Structure 1
């Protein structure tokens, strides 16, 4: 999760930077849950975003939103590429995404991605990283890499905890170094997720489903919605489950979501007989894959709605623990939703990425199969030949 680099190109346009401020205001309004958030005076961050949008509309002769309620209606009813702002047409016209989901009224994944990359909001940008880095520090101080692995698996596999679950993890000795941190990032689940006195987790991604007015459900994960109607898991009745806790949204989005894809990829590669280590070197990268001949791949899994924002955030994979090749991976469904996903990522990727390639999980598995068959051509590699040659020279 890195700041967007300044520079030319549609995603560097001032209107896109302004949209990030709007997205940040939307996220802040949801977090505060203030009943007076829509009455004057507005929250300072929301007021600044509203003022910026009004001025931008006036410059182009477009009708501006009359106030914060109308701006939020824009966020919910209008795809961002259709806003009457010059810079958004080129940068975001290719997405039908809104900042607020039409059905649930909650910030979308694109909204959170824009908020993470907003200027001057370091707390929002870094929250998930701050938590992960604090867990690393605590586990290093305890000389326990196993504790860090247990912490990451907790966030991936158990984003929702009942009272019984809370007692269970409270007795897990591996989690001792991160005990206080865990209490901070698992607050009580809001009542907005309740339906008939029960919380209902998604049967696919395990996060809580949002009940809709029509009696249906909404899942916050893009992939779950791509797969079709939500699959409700067992209901957690308050009377039986006690206090239900849910991992905070930035961690659900940027740790739990990709973590589910990481776990799926780990399973697929182990089935092929490969040795896979998760989060090696205190999370230097996500998966370290060792082939029978000793060749090593380093893989980081990402799951972003907008490929351009992902490209702007790209940076070379850390070199330690050692590997021969490295790449980033996204779930296959991202490319099925948007066919130019990989091309847009490559176009927006900056110099600090060092030519870092982005593959789908399906492409990564195909490359692993090719290498296991003994192939040594481009189909059996995850980095371009020039990157491999440069890596070999550097090691020499």
Structure 2
């Protein structure tokens, strides 16, 4: 069988994301997409199966990239799930974004990096910079869509005396009409982001790890006719991982722990301090492919400052559903001795277990009481 290596898929993915940034305008062909396509055709020629190769680049883009690799009649690396597709009704899938990142970054990651860099610079020069940084990030996580009036109010909130109103404009865009169904926009009932539309029905968002991509949504939330949505790079790298970050933050707070969200302007995601003084550093990574995640982590997955005693790379629990062997595969390539990988429910259970001997010696505080106390603060 014809073999297709990961570098070829990475280059194709980088090109597909460039097309997505141009709202699906294929021509002129992005160089990476053209070169990646050429590698696919060459693979079939070298495998003496030229008749099986895609007939043209438009055919490759419109037909092949929407099909799982298992239907390409090629052999891909064992690290790649053969049921993955590169496009989902014209939109790059999670694996496509991750492959593009491995290739050297995508326009999506560049988009969020540009906003993140500006946000960090401005917050560092502000007297309440750390709090302001966290407030801005949480706003993005909690507002995947906004009405025009809500957007105006948000610009006021982050405007005078704060100087971040223009950054909101870089995070949001008007919702494209292709997301409308029967003249209306709808939100996913799970992640609350704008839904996709295909085959005259509202379907699950391809990036929402709560429900399978392409499944028709029986439950959906009708939205205002004129709304703004997060730009794709902000949505992929801030919103979706951020939901799990905030969820874990709130669970730790309910345990009565001292928790910092995005300490020192996002050196890592959570800094958890226990009553005995032990500090955990937690960085959440929401990758669909564990092997590509390992490649992305670099030499220092969690910065040493702010200081910590135990470090954890945490994966959203939902990833187990789509890839039951996720953690086993991740550990097979793990090379960091001072940091452990685990799912978010496991790290929470570990924290709860560590607390249990201490809480047994002191008056018990119910989860409800902790939540009320947190809300008051």
Relative to the length of structure 1, the TM-score reads 0.81
- CA distance in 1: counterparts of 2:182 and 2:114, whole angstroms: 36
1:123: how far off? 4.6
**Structure 1, 41-50 or 140-149: larger mean CA deviation:** 41-50
1:318 aligns with 2:294: no
Match of 1:341 in 2: 326
Match of 1:369 in 2: 352
1:23 aligns with 2:8: no
1:136 aligns with 2:120: yes
Q: Deviations over 1:208-242 (max 9, x none)?
A: 0012224232312241224975465532232xxx4
The match for 2:37 among 50, 53, 60 is 50
Q: Any conservation in 1 of the 2:66–2:85 contact (CA below 8 Å)? A: yes
1:371: how far off? 0.4
| Superposition map of 1:21-170 within 5 A | 21-33=11-23, 35=25, 37=26, 42-62=29-49, 63-72=52-61, 73-77=63-67, 79-80=68-69, 83-86=72-75, 88-92=76-80, 94-101=81-88, 104-119=89-104, 123-143=107-127, 144-170=129-155
- Alpha-carbon RMSD across the aligned residues, in angstroms, is 2.5
Q: Any conservation in 1 of the 2:94–2:206 contact (CA below 8 Å)? A: yes
1:178 aligns with 2:164: yes
Match of 2:238 in 1: 255
Q: Any conservation in 2 of the 1:311–1:347 contact (CA below 8 Å)? A: no
- CA distance in 1: counterparts of 2:158 and 2:137, whole angstroms: 15
1:200 aligns with 2:189: no
- Structure 2, gaps ≥5 residues long: 359-377
Match of 2:364 in 1: none
SS at match of 1:327: strand
- Relative to 1, partners in 2 of residues 1:322 and 1:43: Cα closer, same or farther, differing over 3 Å? closer
Bigger fraction of residues in strand: 2
Q: Any conservation in 1 of the 2:41–2:54 contact (CA below 8 Å)? A: yes
The match for 1:223 among 205, 209, 215 is 209
1:196: how far off? 2.6
Tell me the matched-pair count: 348
1:291: how far off? 1.2
Bigger fraction of residues in helix: 1
Q: Any conservation in 1 of the 2:285–2:313 contact (CA below 8 Å)? A: yes
- CA distance in 1: counterparts of 2:14 and 2:219, whole angstroms: 30
Q: Any conservation in 1 of the 2:191–2:208 contact (CA below 8 Å)? A: no
Match of 1:9 in 2: none
SS at match of 1:216: strand
Match of 2:365 in 1: none
Q: Deviations over 1:242-291 (max 9, x none)?
A: 4x211111221111111101111112212222121100111011111111
SS at match of 1:237: coil
- CA distance in 2: counterparts of 1:305 and 1:253, whole angstroms: 12
1:202: how far off? 1.4
- Relative to 1, partners in 2 of residues 1:69 and 1:173: Cα closer, same or farther, differing over 3 Å? closer
- CA distance in 2: counterparts of 1:290 and 1:108, whole angstroms: 37
- CA distance in 2: counterparts of 1:172 and 1:125, whole angstroms: 26
- CA distance in 1: counterparts of 2:250 and 2:186, whole angstroms: 27
1:307 aligns with 2:293: no
Match of 1:7 in 2: none
